[in-house]
Amino acid sequence: MTAHTTEAVCNFCGQAMIVEIDLEKLRNMTTTEKSEYTDDYIVRNCSCDKAKAKRKEILHKNFKRFIHSEVCQFLDKFDLDEMSIKTSEGFKGKVKRDTAGNLKIETTINEVV
């Protein structure tokens, strides 16, 4: 892989980082996509508290999307009544079928110390 390096700055704390982008990907990216890629890289790699909070927010959003789509489809496909999922990030999800056959979904976040 041949990479292009560029400097990006955390929007939260101002810390500068070197970001590497595969040249093949870079050729196909618009200016907006390049900016989103570097912003995402910074959020995933900066150690400031606000970047950590943003990471957790993104993870929780993706977890909820996973519960609402794949887990619900899995329950329906295999005709299950209940399923619980717990992640190492402290997210918990529970999908349970009520007496009318409707799915009830709960998600929570617990702080992992």
Residue type, 73: Q
- The ranges assigned to domains in the chain are 3-47, 56-109
In 3D space, the residue among 75, 81, 79 whose CA is nearest the CA of residue 97 turns out to be 81
Q: How many residues in total does the chain contain? A: 113
pLDDT tens string for the chain (113 positions)?
Answer: 677 788 889 989 999 988 887 777 778 888 898 888 888 888 888 999 999 999 888 898 999 999 999 999 999 999 999 999 998 888 999 999 999 988 999 988 776 54
Ordered alpha helix ranges (H), the chain = 23-28, 31-45, 49-66, 72-77
| Per-residue confidence (pLDDT) for residue 80, from 0 to 100 | 93
| Per-residue confidence (pLDDT) for residue 51, from 0 to 100 | 92
Tokens of 9: 């700055």
> Rounded to an integer, what distance in angstroms lies between the CA atom of residue 42 and that of residue 3?
17
Strands of the sheet containing 91-97, edge to edge, are 82-86, 91-97, 103-109
Q: If residue 29 lies in a helix (H) or strand (E), which one and from where to where?
A: none
* 96 alpha-carbon distance from chain centroid: 24
